[in-house]
Structures are given as C-alpha cells and as structure tokens.
Amino acid sequence: MTQGRVVIVDDDKANLETMKKTLEKVNFETVCFSDSQDALNFIESNDGVDLVLTDLRMPKITGINLLKRVKQKDQSIGVILITAYGTVENAVEAIKMGADDYIGKPLDIYELRKRVSAIVEKRNLSKEVTLLKSRLDKRYGFENIIANSSKMKEVLEKVKLVANTKATVLIIGESGTGKELIANAIHQNSPRKSMPFLPINCAAIPGNLMESELFGYEKGAFTGADKAHLGRFEQADSGTLFLDEIAELPLELQGKLLRVLEEKVVYRVGGTKGIPVDVRIVAATHQNLSEKVKEGKFREDLYFRLKVVELVIPPLRERKEDIPFFVHQFLSDSSKEHNKNIKSISSELLNFFENYEWKGNVRELRNLLERMVIFSNKEVLDLSDLPSEFAIESFAPNEEGVSNNGKMKLPFLNLELLEKEAIINALEETNYNKTQAAKVLGIGLRTLHRKINEYKIVERR
C-alpha cells in the first residue's frame, strides 16, 4: 500500500533518479519532472498529490514560484524545497512563504525519507481530522434533527438560538428522547465546535469516585494515586461538558459543582491550587428537578444556575408526526448496516407505530426497527415482522378493511412516496417558497432542492 503520492521536480536527472528510488523503496508513489512547467501542469490538473519535492533553482518556474502556485491550488499539499547549502537563507525565506520544510544538498537519503514521511503523515492526519469534523457537522447539523412536529420545531428553534451563546443549558426529557443528540448539536453548532465535547453520566459513576472524575486528583491524594490525573473539567477546557442524569449527582458534590460554575476554577482532590477552566455546561435529566429541590435532594441554587436555558424534549408519543420520518431514517440506516434491501413498511405497521406508547421513545423505535430488519428478508415490513411480545390485536383490520381504531386499511405505504407527499404539502403550504418549506420540513435548503429534482416535483399553481 502506497504511503502517498510525491511529485519530484529537479533538472538534474541524476538527483531525480536518486530521489525516486529512495522514496519508492519505502512505498511512496512518485511522479518525476525535470521541467517545472510540466510539473505545475500535472499538479494543477490532478488531485491526490500529497507532497511536492522541488529544487529551489529551476529554469522557467523557480522553486519559490512553484511553491506559491501549489499552495494556491491546495494549502494542504506539502512542499519541501531542495537547496544548496549556500542558499539556506532563501530556503528559510521560503518557509515563511508557506513551504513545509527544506533539505540541503548533497542529499542524505535517510533524512529525505524522514522529512517526506513526517509531512505526508501530518497531511494525512489533518485530512482525517477534517473528515471527522465534516461528519460531525453533518450528523449534528440542524437539518438532520427530525422536527416535523410543532413541539419539536419549537425546541429546535430554541437550540438554534442558544447554540451560539455561552449560556448553560438544562435539557429535560424521558430516557431515549435524544437529550445527548441535542447537547451535541448545541456544541457542534457553537464557537467551541473545534474543542472537546465530553459526556459524563452522573448515574453511572459511584459517588465516592465522582469528585475525582469531575475535578481530577493530585499525586498521593489517596492510595493508588501514583500520578496526577486531569478531571473532566480540565479535559473539556474551552469545550463543552455534558452532565447527563445530573439529578443523580451526590448532594455533597453539588455545592462543589456550583462553585466551579461560579468561579470557573477547579480544585483537584488532594490539591490546594485553583486551576482556571473555561467550560460550557450542558446538563440533562429525566427527573423533575423542581420536585427534587422540594424534597431536599437537589440544591436550589444549583438548579437555577443550570437552567439559564431550559429545553424540554417531548416524548415520542407527543410527536407522532415525526414517526414516519424516524421510520424512514432508521429503516434506511439499518438496511445499509445489515446489507438488506428493505424499502418500506405497510400502512398497518405504520399505524401501529403511530399508536404505540413508546416508553423507550426514539431509542426504542430505532432498536425495534433494527431488530425487524435483521430477521426479515422482505422488501416491505408488516405487522407479522413485529416481535411476539408486541400486542397488535387492537390494530388488526376487520372485514371492511378498517382497524379497531377507525383507520382505513391500505395495501402498504412506500416511504419514498410519503417523503415526496410531505415535500409537496410543505411547498403548497408556503406558496412554493422553498426557504420556508425547508424550515417547515426541518431540512436544509440544498437538501430540499435535491429532493425536488429527485422526485421531479413541479409547481402546482
């Protein structure tokens, strides 16, 4: 497997051959040019160049000018200049102009391999980080949060407003409603997005360990503390700390947490020196914190400090308009994950989903659909694919084709047709204002344009 593609430029053919053989021995793909104009033409017309290795003194286009043109095309392409020892000053100047490194003549082949490998590895790491960030941007973009119901649209509007601020946020919602998804979206759409997002489940860590987990500890603070340890606050510095199930935080630690929020300073266990931290707090709970305050189980001052902005995530049973969209997304994801060709669900099954209580909320729906996809080889899932523990008698249709809850029996519901109809309805409701329609649907404008073209939707005026 190649380590990367290197373009080598040198009008000395002996040097060119030496560098080619040196790098190909350690699995670099090389493209060699003795003419700098030919090299530039190749670089500008080809993607996938990781590094350019060029002599400083070249006819036609000098190494400096080649450096400028390469960086204009793509800042991430590495450039190493080869220079005689008498022109080191020029090479240093080139570094200031954007070169990644320089190497002197006569060439040391081991040093050459080392320098090239280091820069290509750094570039690959940078590309990987960029890719991961773009995936996070896509995953936690507002257009990817399903919010077709009025209640969830209201929540999403608040999320958009609060994301760009420094405000502490308290998210309240039943288990499985997507509290961490919302917390991550707040972080990923804030100025802190390039810094850490660290979640910690206050219910999952024993109370006697929580203090050192949050605030860290000094060497010798207790038996086994053979070195200092950074707590989550220090680890999340300049980023966001997500305190899930905050109601489970021991009462004795609540005062210490409040002090950190107020003073923006942490004290490690066993330490006396205050450590400044800049951390945004997003907390979440499925419990009624105001009741916990009345019971004396949660500090009132901490409660009010956390709920600068309060977001209440509705349970799935109160946002039934979102269920078809969740089904479409989860069905598509699970089918790809498990290499299945399941395209839709029957209308009876959708009817069941829309009337089921969903005590586990969105998480329960996602897990159920994945389970059904795994055990089915049909293109259309129906009631018979439900696990045996689900009671469906009340949804079974009678001879007239009407179920016991009064809804008509249909042959099956194609989710693509459902999506198309939803887009048409949104366009008609907004008088074909695509920007407004995208907001109604909870998707991006570019996504809406793509869907309109995909479904060949024409204006009905």
Residuewise pLDDT in 10s, the chain (461 residues):
678 899 999 988 899 999 999 999 999 999 999 999 999 999 988 888 999 999 888 888 888 899 989 988 888 899 999 887 555 666 677 777 788 888 888 888 899 999 999 998 888 777 766 555 555 555 556 767 888 899 999 999 999 999 999 999 999 999 999 999 999 999 989 999 888 899 999 998 888 889 999 999 998 888 888 888 899 999 999 999 999 999 999 999 999 999 999 999 999 999 889 999 999 999 999 999 999 999 999 999 999 999 999 999 999 999 999 999 999 989 999 999 999 989 889 988 998 999 898 999 999 999 999 999 999 989 999 988 988 777 544 444 444 444 444 443 434 445 566 678 778 888 888 888 888 888 877 788 888 888 888 888 887 65
Helix (H) or strand (E) holding 283: strand 280-285
Measure the CA angle with vertex 152, ends 420 and 280; round to 5°. Answer: 125
Alpha-carbon dihedral 320, 321, 323, 324, rounded to 10 degrees: 150
Measured CA to CA in angstroms, residue 344 lies from 244, 366, 379 at distances of 35, 15, 7
Phi, psi of 240 (to 5 degrees): -125, 135
Strand 28-33 with 78-84, pairing: unpaired
Q: Nearest to residue 189, comparing CAs of 170, 165, 168?
A: 165
Alpha-carbon dihedral 195, 196, 202, 204, rounded to 10 degrees: 170
139-159 in b/e form (b: 16+ CB < 10 A) is ebebbbbbbbbebbbebbebb
Q: How far apart are CA 259 and CA 24, in angstroms?
A: 59
Q: Tell me the three state secondary structure of residue 206.
A: coil
Q: Which residue intervals of 295-375 are DSSP H helices?
A: 300-306, 323-337, 347-355, 361-374
Tokens of 297: 């189980």
List beta partners, residue 104: 83
136 near 239, Cβ under 8 Å? Answer: no
Domains and CATH numbers, the chain: 4-135 (3.40.50.2300), 158-314 (3.40.50.300), 318-454 (1.10.8.60)
pLDDT at residue 393 in the model? 42
Q: Nearest to residue 146, comparing CAs of 417, 312, 329, 285?
A: 329
Q: Tell me the three state secondary structure of residue 16.
A: helix
Contacts of residue 77, defined as CB under 8 A and 6 or more positions apart, other chains included, come to 43, 49, 50, 51, 52, 70, 71, 123
Contacts of residue 247, defined as CB under 8 A and 6 or more positions apart, other chains included, come to 202, 285, 286, 287, 289, 292, 297, 298
Bond into 411 cis (ω within 30): no
Q: In what order do the strands lie in the sheet with 169-172?
A: 197-201, 240-244, 280-285, 169-172, 309-312
pLDDT at residue 417 in the model? 65
pLDDT at residue 145 in the model? 84
pLDDT at residue 201 in the model? 93
194 near 242, Cβ under 8 Å? Answer: no
Amino acid letter, residue 62? T
Phi, psi of 167 (to 5 degrees): -60, 140
